[in-house]
Structure 1
């Protein structure tokens, strides 16, 4: 990887295991962990190909696979990818830096109908690579494919910068919400879910 991600540089050595344990505990407590997957499922046709970009422990991709979609999950953290593979059979889980994403080289040449970028992924990629991350994700979509991106607006990556990076990646913004269950976006919202479209060629 050309540049360490902020997941590496801005967190401690035990952060990955803490993250794994946190979501295991939430699942054991019966927390609703499939909100992002429900939105993606509503945006695409049955049996679509979905890229889970920054898949972490695989909770979103696994929920999409249970809904009948073909899922490939990618994360730069091998500890998280190993946890995803151990917990969720079905999707393909790969270690890769989103800023250098080339799934054809990993045996996944078919384009995706949609991508989901959940869990504050955009605030954890290496600083300065955000536009390239979006460009690489978009390059793996079919024309007219959709990307759903969600992150906290108070985490050091302004929405104005995200909008500029999305445009630089050739993506068109279609909608913005304050939550994954589509509550209205307001300027004071501390979270944003943005739906982007790769224009049809």
Structure 2
């Protein structure tokens, strides 16, 4: 097949998309920049200059038809980012008690609940390891203090998450969403 001068110029300048079809919303569904591939696929006659296209949030469109990402999708993506941050912060949460650091993640709190139950069985003291691998012997009052510090740290973390989440769902523009940082 003989290429037109226009097509040859587009190919020489790496400025062409060969495509299967263009959807009703003017999105180029499947495309390649390779003339050889386009010939094999039977798309060689379907082409557009790259300069006549633009990126939309979900693909390449003919110029003037690109769709911007809906605000609701941007909010959902940012919310997922914040949830991941919450999970990471929750897993690495530590508290200070008795001049040492203690894990306050979910596993550590479960362990603390088990230790607290030992006092109901008559234990006078329990041992717990700090994040720094130091063993501490605690009585019921000390264990309760540490447990409350852990619970408060978790509550503070969730409060921060809820505040940023509330702020996110009040956003009315993409710029407002992008400014939110936790």
Shorter-chain TM-score tier: under 0.3
User: Which has the larger helix fraction?
Assistant: 2
Q: TM-score, normalised by structure 1?
A: 0.17
Q: TM-score, normalised by structure 2?
A: 0.18
